[in-house]
Each structure stands twice: as structure tokens, then as C-alpha cells.
Amino acid sequence: MLRFDVITIFPNFFESPHSVGVVGRAFSSGIAVCHTHDLRSWTHDRHRTVDDRPFGGGEGMVMKPEPIFAAVESLNLTSKLQRDSKQTVILLSAQGERFTQSVAHDLAQMERIVLICGRYEGVDERVSELLCDRELSVGDYVLSGGELGAAIIIDAVVRLRPGVLGNADSARFESFGHHDASLPLADLDAPRAVHGSGGLLDYPHYTRPVDFRGHTVPEVLTGGDHALIRKWRRQQALRKTERNRPDLLEKAELSAEDMRLLGEELD
């Protein structure tokens, strides 16, 4: 079982995200569990204060280290230096490394993940230095707090655990999925005519009706030639990535076949 512990000043925030969809089913079936902890429970003044003014001046307020340390230490985790590879403490922060599908796969191997939701102008740096294994950011933008980021991470990680998705290959054959570019398209072990994206964006998807308001499904998808479908899908994934996320294409390990597909017209 994968256990999440979320430390936040808004514990009720997580009630809805955890009750619906595949994440809700994962929690209700016992594949994963999430405990939310109100950070204010570890304060000792009548105002239950979790923030204070920053040293050196400046705008905003900074989250205090004392209640965060007390909250994490109450979870009976080992210290940062003694922590094993199956448990991790993460600070949600705009200054963190970018959360990616690769990071999600790493976290899906864990047994326990503690998520600290930052807020206000930031969190006292000693929390990151002395308590956390890593800082994560869900994107190059600033949110009001780490709660949304924590919910995103929980969703992305939980769906990668065995038994959560209806088809185990669903997490493999999608945007940012795994694919060995050295393998010929025809040799890929894949259901029907799909294959992993190799870190690229997914190919376009179509369903019934074939003709919708004069826009028809590409003929290649209805012809029944799985080799041709496989080729078309790979080409479309490459082109969509080139158009929407060229940065991914620059980092991808493309095969000679991929390079040919990028420059080829396909009926």
C-alpha cells in the first residue's frame, strides 16, 4: 500500500479530489491511502500562527519552521539522513524542481510520501535543508499554495500503481510514456497498434461517429492495417510534439525511423 501524508492549513481541500475517479477508487479499494494533517495542530498560541515576517524585510509572510518540523516528526519518520528509499518528504514550492512524469514514476515506487504544502511568500529555508528530500513545483507559475500541487502529484502517482487503471498499459501508452526508440515500430510489444510515446506527446485519438459535421476520421485508422496505423500514430505523436512542445522533441532519443517520419507525408 502507498501512503500519503499531506501537511496543510486547509485539510478539507482534499476531500473532493480524493473521492472521485481512479484516485477515489484506489483509496476506497486500499491500493493507496491519504492522511491529511492540519498544520495548525502543532501551533501553541491562541491565534494558531503558522507564519511570520521575513528577516531582512520584504513583502509577504513566511511559514515558520517549528510547526512543520513538529508535524513531520509526529509521523514517526526516520531523520533525513537515515531515511530509506521507500519513504520521502517533499516540499511543494514554486522554487522546486519541475514535477514530471519521470518523477511520478519514481514516486510510484515509494511506500510513503509526505507532502508539505507551502503557502504565503514561502517556507523557512531550514525546512527544505534539514527536513525534506526534495522540493517540487508542478509548473512554471505561482499558485496560492501547495494544495493544488499536492493533489496533482497524488493523482499522477496513484494512477501508476498496479491495479489502479483498468488496463495496466494505459500508463505506458500515453503522453510522456516510455518507449525504446531503438526498437523498430513493428517489433514493439503493444496492444493492437499502439506503442509508447517515448517521452513525447500522445498521438491524436478518434471515436464514433466516423463523420462529425463534415470532419471525418483519418482513413488509415479505419482500414485495419495495424502496421500502417502504428506508423501513422508515431508520426502524429512526433508532429504534435514538434508543434506543441518542441522542447520535448529536442530532448527525445529519436531513431532514424522517427527522423524519416517527421519529414514524410503519410496518406
Q: What is the pLDDT of residues 87-130, one digit of tens each?
A: 999 999 999 999 999 999 999 999 999 999 999 989 999 999 99
Average pLDDT taken over every residue of the chain = 89
- The pLDDT value given to residue 186: 46
- The pLDDT value given to residue 81: 83
Average pLDDT over residues 52-67: 95
- The pLDDT value given to residue 174: 59
Q: What is the pLDDT of residues 23-43, one digit of tens each?
A: 999 999 999 999 999 999 999
Kindly state which CATH superfamily the domain 172-262 is placed in: tRNA(m1g37)methyltransferase, domain 2 (1.10.1270.20)
Q: Is the dihedral of CA 216, 219, 224, 228 positive or negative?
A: negative
Evaluate whether 2-158 and 172-262 have a shared fold.
no
Domain boundary assignment for the chain: 2-158, 172-262
- What is the CATH number assigned to the segment(s) 2-158? 3.40.1280.10
Average pLDDT over residues 11-23: 91
Is pLDDT at 168 greater than 60 in this prediction?
Answer: no
Enter the C-alpha cell of residue 242.
514538434
Least confident piece of the model among 31-35, 128-132, 187-191, 208-212? 187-191
> With contact defined as beta carbons under 8 Å apart, do 99 and 138 qualify?
yes
Percent residues over pLDDT 70 in the chain: 87
- The pLDDT value given to residue 204: 95
Exposure pattern of 83-114 as b/e (b: 16+ CB <10 Å)? eeeebbbbbbbbebeebebebbbebbebebbb
pTM to 2 decimal places: 0.84
- Rounded distance between C-alpha atoms, residue 186 and residue 188, angstroms: 6
